[in-house]
Amino acid sequence: MSQADEISPAALAILAIELISGAWLCWKFSPGRAARPARLREWALPPVDFACFIAFAFVGATTVSSAAGYLLRPVHLDPDLALVAGGGIMHIGVLAGLAAFFLLYGARARLTDPVASPPPVLVSGFVTFLAALPLVYATDLGWGFLLRKAGFPDEQQEMVGILENSHSAALKLTLLAVATVIVPFSEEILFRAGLFRYFRTRAPRWLSIVLTSALFGALHVSWGDHMAGLPSLLPLFVLAIVFCLAYERTGRIGTTIVAHALFNLNTFVLVLAGIGS
């Protein structure tokens, strides 16, 4: 986040509303106050079929990315646009692979309805998004402070850097579409509806939440010399935990897809406004 004196009064008011609303929702839906039964059924999928679920996602991503790279080879794209488009194409490949998996495996792999009727996904997704914000913001501040004190790199994700530095409207619109439409669908189906749902009844519940959330955060970091995205590691870990709990409580993957899209949109707006990353 930027320093307080860099934030306009309007932006500060919006941030305050988000934080206050989110803090109230965290209190209202905290486990101690609102212990409700989970609506998420067990995913009765054999281990071999689950391995195929992961394999289909990987093969879909690599196949679609390779095909797109070959077809676009004659086109000379701007490097930043090529990076953004490449990320979007990879996620489309993941979705294509998962769609093929569910189509071929049919009823065996179908994600059944929740135990009881949940709230509409737009409502539950918006509530999840708001409830996550104060936790993510607080983690971001604390984690960033620790990284600076320890002398670790504080370089943000490549996509954030592109958004901050680009003056191309087409590039920003492409990034917005990838971040708010394609990525939420692919990541939520893979991580929450796939990994978390499979392991939550086959391992200790807390362990399935922690491990899948840690993997989600780690895959958003470029583990090279500069470790781009390291400042987002712990905040995204916390965000993923909130998404796991929301998915478990509502039984609808649409809830976390909506929350994920709103979170990315909120980040997009904050970066464009110069407030934070």
The 10 Å CB-count burial string (b at 16+, else e) for 141-177 is eebbeebeeeeeeeebbebbbbbeebeeeebbebbbe
Distance CA 265, CA 255 (A): 15
Q: Measure the CA–CA gap between 211 and 202, rounded to whole angstroms.
A: 13
Q: Which of 25, 270, 262 is nearest to 121 (CA)?
A: 262
What is the rounded CA–CA span in Å between residue 173 and residue 196? Answer: 31
CB count in 10 Å sphere of residue 32? 6
pLDDT in tens, 69-83: 888 888 787 888 888
Tens digit of each residue's pLDDT (9 = 90 or more) over 106-119:
877 776 656 555 66
- For the chain, report the end-to-end CA distance as a whole number of angstroms: 6
More confident of the two residues 99 and 17: 99
- Delimit the domains of the chain by residue range: 4-42+119-272
CA distances from 101 to 6, 20, 188, 257 (A): 49, 42, 16, 20
Q: How many CB atoms lie within 10 A of CB 252?
A: 23
Instruction: Report the chain's mean pLDDT, rounded to a whole number.
Output: 84
In tens, the pLDDT along 213-267 reads 999 999 998 877 677 788 899 999 999 999 999 999 888 999 999 999 999 998 8
pLDDT more than 90, % of the chain: 44
Residues 6+ apart with CB under 8 A from 77: 85
pLDDT greater at residue 63 or residue 271:
63
**Tell me, what's the pLDDT at 5?**
41
Residue 4 is predicted with a pLDDT of: 39
- Check residues 256 and 2 and name the one with the higher pLDDT: 256
DSSP state of 277: -
Which amino acid belongs to residue 173?
Answer: L
Report the C-alpha gap between 129 and 237 in whole angstroms: 14
Residue 200 has pLDDT above 90, yes or no: yes
Q: For 139-162, what is the mean pLDDT?
A: 84
